[in-house]
Amino acid sequence: MNPPPPTNDDAAIAAYLARLAAADAAAGERATATRHDVLRRRGEVPGPYAFPPDRSEIRRIDWVHRGWLRPLRFIFRHMPGSLRRLVKKAAT
Amino acid sequence: MTFIVVTAAAPADTRRLTRTALSLLRSPGVSQWMIVGASRAALPAAVRNVLRLRGITCTTDHDPSAAADVVRNDDAWVCFLAAGDRLAANAVQRITACAAGNRADGPRAVDVIYGDTRHLVRHADRLPTFQRRPGWSPERLRHHDYIGAMIAVRAGHLRTVGDVAELARCDSHDRNLRLTERAARVARIAHVLHETHERSLAPTASRDAVVNHLARIGIDADLTRDVTRAVNVTGNDAADDSCPAVTVRRRITTRPLVSVLVPTRGSKATIFGASRTLVVEAVRSVLTTSTYRNVEFVVVADSDTPTAVRDELRTIGGDRLRIVDFDRPFNFAEKINLAAAHAAGDMFLLLNDDTEVISPDFLETLVALLSDTGVGLVGPTLLFEDGTIQSAGHVFSPEPTDLYRGAPADSRGAHDMLRVTRETSSIIAACALTSREVFESVGGLSVQFPGNWNDIDYCLKVWQSGRRVLVTPLARMYHFESKTRVPVLVESEVATLGHRWGHVLDDDPFFNPHLQRYVNVWKTDSTSPRSYSEALGPTAPIASK
C-alpha cells in the first residue's frame, strides 16, 4: 500500500481507507472460519458468542464446614502435632 | 513412537537416579533411558532388573553408540529430565498425542514440547503447588527460563542442534534456548508433565546462555542481570552466573520516522493536582521527555476541539505536527485509520491523548523490539496517575482484562512475569507501536469496534498474520484513565468480537486453563488457602504470561 497518499487528497484517502476496510474484512473472515473449524472439531454448532457465566464461586468446595465433619475436625485439631502430621501424611 | 528419556547425574547419585527410574516405570511408552555422567552401577540392581523387565533399555553416555542411537530415528522423541525429577504418569501419552496432532494440523511438524510442573513438597501439611506455563514465548525465554528443567524434543531436530550428552549436562536455560531457537514449532501442553522436589520453581536465568543465544541468532543487545529478587541468588553476583532474570535491551540500529497518531477532542482534566489539556501535554511529553527525535504527529481532532487547543498544538509541534479534522460520530478506530492515511512514517505509534511519557528512551526500546521482523506490535507498561499498574498486557479470562491492574509498579508478578519483556495475547492501544506494513496488511483498526476492543481485535489480527505481540517493562508511560472506571459490556460488541475470536477468548494461549478465570489476580485452581498478596508475589504457585 506504500507510499502514503498525499495530504488533502480526499480521493486517495478514501481509497486508502477502503483498502484497509477490505483487508480487515478478509482478516475477519479468516478468523471466523478458524473459529467455526475449532467449534466443529469440538462437536459444537457455531452460533452467536457470549461470555460464559462466572462459575468460580459456584465451584468452591466447602466440605470442611459440613455439620457431620465438626466432631471429627474438633478431635483432629486437638491432637498432638506429631499425630496430626501423621494423619495428614497418610491423607495426602 | 520411540520415547527416550535423558538424565544427567553425578557419578554416585543413586538416590536421585532411583527416584527418576521409578517414575519411568509408571510411564508406559518409555523405551530407553540414557544416563549421562554416571554409570549403570549407580542404580541398585533391583531397579536395573525391573527396568529391563519393563522393556526400558538403560544406556549411558560412556557407550559410544548410545548417543548415536538416540538421534538415529527422526520421529523418536527425546525428553530431558533432571536427576531426581519424575515424569508425570501420563506425560508420554500427552507428548506423543501432541506431536501426532500437530503433525496432522499442518506442514510444520512440532519440534519441541514443554508443559506444566508439579512441585512435590515433603511436608504433609503443605499441598503441592504447580507451575502453570504460558504458550510459546520466545522473547520471554530470552529473559529467563520459564520452560524449566523438562523439555521434549524430536530426535530429528535434536540431531541438528548438538550432542545429546552435552545438551543434557548444560544449564537448562542454555539447553532450552538452543533447542527452541531453530525449531519449526514449539508447543505447550497445559497439563503436568513433570514433577520435582526442587525447593523453588521460580525461573532463573543464565547470562552466558543468553549472550551465546543472541550471538547465534544475530540480536544486538545490552544485557544486565536482574538480581532484585533475593531468593535463588546464591553467592556473589560476579561468581555465580545464575540470576532470576537477564534484562535484554536491544540496541537500535536505525531510527525510522515514527508517526504518532493521536485522536482527541481537546478535553481538559486535573492531573497531578493541576488542570491540563490532555492532548497538548501528551504531545509535549513526547517532544520534551522522549530522546527519540525522528517523529511526526498526526492529531485527529473532533470538530468541537477548541481553537485555542489547536493553536497550542501547532505552536509546540511546529511543522512536525498535522491536525486532521474529524466531523463524524465518535469512532476511535476510524480516527486512527484516518490518521494513518495522513501519516508518512514507517512506524505508527498509536497514542491516547490521556498519556504521558515516563521512560525517556521508551521509543528507542519499542522501535528496537519492532525491528525484529517476527514482531508486529509492542507496547509499554502503563501506569495510573498514582503509580500503580494500569495495564501490563491483557489476559482473556475470557473477558479481556488488564493484567495486574492496580498492583504496585514494582510488582514482580507471578514468576517474575512483570519483570521481563514477553509475548501476550493483546495490549491496550493507549500506547502501542506497530509498523506501517503490518498495520496496512491486517486492515488497520476495525471500524466494527467504535469504542471498545478495537485494540484487542488488532492484536489478534497481528497474531493471525504470524507476528508476535509484546509488552515490555523497559518502557513505561502514564495512562490517566480513571481507576474506578468499570467497562460496560455491550452485548453487540461482545458478539462481534466473539464472532471473530471466540475460540481465542475461550482459550487464551498465554493463559492456562487450570488457572481460575474471572479474577484479575491469577489464582491456581486449587483449594489451598493462598492469600491475595502471596498470589501477587514471587512465591505465587502459578506462572504464566
Residue B223 — φ and ψ, nearest 5°?
A: -115, 135
Provide the number of structural domains found in chain B: 2
Residue B229 lies in a domain: no
A18 lies within 8 A of chain B by CB? no
Provide, as residue numbers in chain B, all residues whose Cβ is less than 8 Å from the Cβ of A84.
125
Which of B268-272, B421-425, B534-538 is predicted least confidently? B534-538
The Cα–Cα gap between B534 and B413 comes to 10
Q: Which residues pair with B129 in a beta bridge?
A: B119
The x, y and z cell numbers of residue B517, run together, are 478465570
The Cα–Cα gap between B295 and B287 comes to 9
Q: Sort B313 into a burial class: Cβ within 10 Å, 0-12 / 13-18 / 19+.
A: buried
Instruction: Provide the pLDDT confidence category of residue B209 given band limits of 50, 70 and 90.
Output: very high
Provide, as residue numbers in chain B, all residues whose Cβ is less than 8 Å from the Cβ of A51.
398-399, 489, 494, 498, 505
Residue B125 lies in a domain: no
Sign of the dihedral defined by the CA atoms of residues B386, B348, B144, B152, in that order = positive
Provide, as residue numbers in chain B, all residues whose Cβ is less than 8 Å from the Cβ of A22.
443
Provide the number of structural domains found in chain A: 1
Residue A5 lies in a domain: no
B441 and A23 within 8 Å at the Cβ level: the answer is: yes
Instruction: Provide the pLDDT confidence category of residue B235 given band limits of 50, 70 and 90.
Output: very low
Minimal Cβ distance to B440: which of A23, A61, A91:
A23
A85 lies within 8 A of chain B by CB? yes
B443 and A54 within 8 Å at the Cβ level: the answer is: no
Q: What is the pLDDT of residue B60?
A: 85
Residues 88-147 on B with a CB inside 8 Å of A are: 123-125, 127
Do B178 and B269 lie in one domain? The reply is no
pLDDT digits (tens, 9 = 90+) for B434-486: 999 999 999 999 999 988 899 999 999 999 999 999 999 999 999 998 655 55
Using alpha carbons, select from B63, B55, B15 the residue that is nearest to residue B35.
Answer: B63
For all residues of chain B together, what is the average pLDDT? 86
Do B273 and B163 lie in one domain? The reply is no
Q: How far does B54 lie from chain A, in Å, by closest CA?
A: 28
DSSP characters for B396-448?
A: ESSSEEETTTTSBTT---GGGGGGS-EE-S---TTEEEEEHHHHHHTTSS-TT
Q: What is the pLDDT of residue B183?
A: 94
pLDDT tops 90 at residue B362: yes
pLDDT digits (tens, 9 = 90+) for B119-144: 887 665 566 677 888 899 999 999 99
Provide, as residue numbers in chain B, all residues whose Cβ is less than 8 Å from the Cβ of A89.
124
Residue B43 lies in a domain: yes
What secondary structure letter does DSSP report for B354?
A: S
A49 and B498 within 8 Å at the Cβ level: the answer is: yes
Residue B524 lies in a domain: yes
Residue A31, domain extent: 10-91
Instruction: Provide the pLDDT confidence category of residue B517 given band limits of 50, 70 and 90.
Output: low
Q: CB–CB of B320/B298 below 8 Å?
A: no
pLDDT tops 90 at residue B152: yes
Provide, as residue numbers in chain A, all residues whose Cβ is less than 8 Å from the Cβ of B464.
27, 30-31, 34
Provide, as residue numbers in chain A, all residues whose Cβ is less than 8 Å from the Cβ of B491.
50
Do B265 and B197 lie in one domain? The reply is no
A92 and B124 within 8 Å at the Cβ level: the answer is: yes
User: How many other β-carbons are positioned within 10 Å of the β-carbon of residue B41?
Assistant: 12
Which helix (DSSP H) or strand (DSSP E) does residue A90 occupy?
helix A81-91
What secondary structure letter does DSSP report for B36?
A: E
More confident residue, B471 or B329: B471
Minimal Cβ distance to A20: which of B124, B337, B498:
B337
Do B371 and B518 lie in one domain? The reply is yes
Q: How far does A79 lie from chain B, in Å, by closest CA?
A: 14
Average pLDDT over residues B250-270: 94
Residue B499, domain extent: 258-536
Q: CB–CB of B258/B432 below 8 Å?
A: no
Q: What is the pLDDT of residue A10?
A: 87
A35 lies within 8 A of chain B by CB? yes
Minimal Cβ distance to B527: which of A49, A61, A92:
A61
| CATH code (residue B88) | 3.90.550.10
Which of B22-36, B333-347, B395-409, B430-444 is predicted least confidently? B395-409
What is the percentage of chain B residues whose pLDDT exceeds 70? 86
Minimal Cβ distance to B343: which of A4, A23, A92:
A4
The Cα–Cα gap between B55 and B28 comes to 10
pLDDT tops 90 at residue B307: yes
The Cα–Cα gap between B271 and B204 comes to 39
Q: How remote is the C-alpha of B307 from its chain's centroid?
A: 44
What secondary structure letter does DSSP report for A91?
A: H
B467 lies within 8 A of chain A by CB? no
Residue B264 — φ and ψ, nearest 5°?
A: -160, 165
Q: How far does B522 lie from chain A, in Å, by closest CA?
A: 12
Q: How remote is the C-alpha of B130 from its chain's centroid?
A: 18
pLDDT tops 80 at residue B232: no
Contacts A–B by Cβ distance under 8 A: 108
Write the CA distances from B148 to B133, B195, B419, integer angstroms: 9, 11, 17
pLDDT digits (tens, 9 = 90+) for B74-116: 889 999 999 999 999 899 999 999 988 765 555 568 999 999 9
Residue A1 lies in a domain: no
Do B307 and B196 lie in one domain? The reply is no
Write the CA distances from B406 to B383, B410, B456, integer angstroms: 9, 11, 20
The Cα–Cα gap between B381 and B390 comes to 8
The Cα–Cα gap between B87 and A36 comes to 36
B497 and A49 within 8 Å at the Cβ level: the answer is: yes
The x, y and z cell numbers of residue B232, run together, are 535463588
Q: What is the pLDDT of residue B106?
A: 55
Q: CB–CB of A45/B373 below 8 Å?
A: no
Provide, as residue numbers in chain B, all residues whose Cβ is less than 8 Å from the Cβ of A54.
517-518
User: How many other β-carbons are positioned within 10 Å of the β-carbon of residue B10?
Assistant: 12
A82 lies within 8 A of chain B by CB? no
Most confident range (mean pLDDT) of A3-7, B84-88, B396-400 is B84-88
- Provide the CB-side half-sphere exposure for A92 (13 A, CA): 14
Q: CB–CB of B545/B426 below 8 Å?
A: no
Q: How far does B8 lie from chain A, in Å, by closest CA?
A: 30
A20 and B444 within 8 Å at the Cβ level: the answer is: yes
Substitution target in A17, A24, A54, A57 with the highest count of B β-carbons within 10 Å is A24
Minimal Cβ distance to A56: which of B338, B491, B518:
B518
pLDDT digits (tens, 9 = 90+) for B36-80: 988 888 888 888 888 888 888 888 887 767 667 777 788 899 999
Residues 368-427 on B with a CB inside 8 Å of A are: 398-399
A50 and B494 within 8 Å at the Cβ level: the answer is: yes
Locus of grid cell 499425630: A83
B499 and A35 within 8 Å at the Cβ level: the answer is: yes
ipTM given for this complex = 0.86
A70 lies within 8 A of chain B by CB? no
Does A3 sit behind a cis peptide bond, omega within 30 degrees of 0 on the bond before it? yes
Q: What is the pLDDT of residue B536?
A: 43
Do B177 and B266 lie in one domain? The reply is no
Q: How far does B322 lie from chain A, in Å, by closest CA?
A: 10
Q: CB–CB of B356/A35 below 8 Å?
A: no
Residue B210 lies in a domain: no
Q: CB–CB of B235/B249 below 8 Å?
A: no
Residue A3 lies in a domain: no
Instruction: Provide the pLDDT confidence category of residue B404 given band limits of 50, 70 and 90.
Output: confident
Residue A85 lies in a domain: yes
Q: How far does B449 lie from chain A, in Å, by closest CA?
A: 12
Q: How remote is the C-alpha of B14 from its chain's centroid?
A: 37
Q: What is the pLDDT of residue B62?
A: 78
Instruction: Provide the pLDDT confidence category of residue B317 given band limits of 50, 70 and 90.
Output: very high
Do B342 and B447 lie in one domain? The reply is yes
Residue A28 lies in a domain: yes
Residue B221 lies in a domain: no
pLDDT tops 80 at residue B242: no
Residue B69 — φ and ψ, nearest 5°?
A: -60, -40
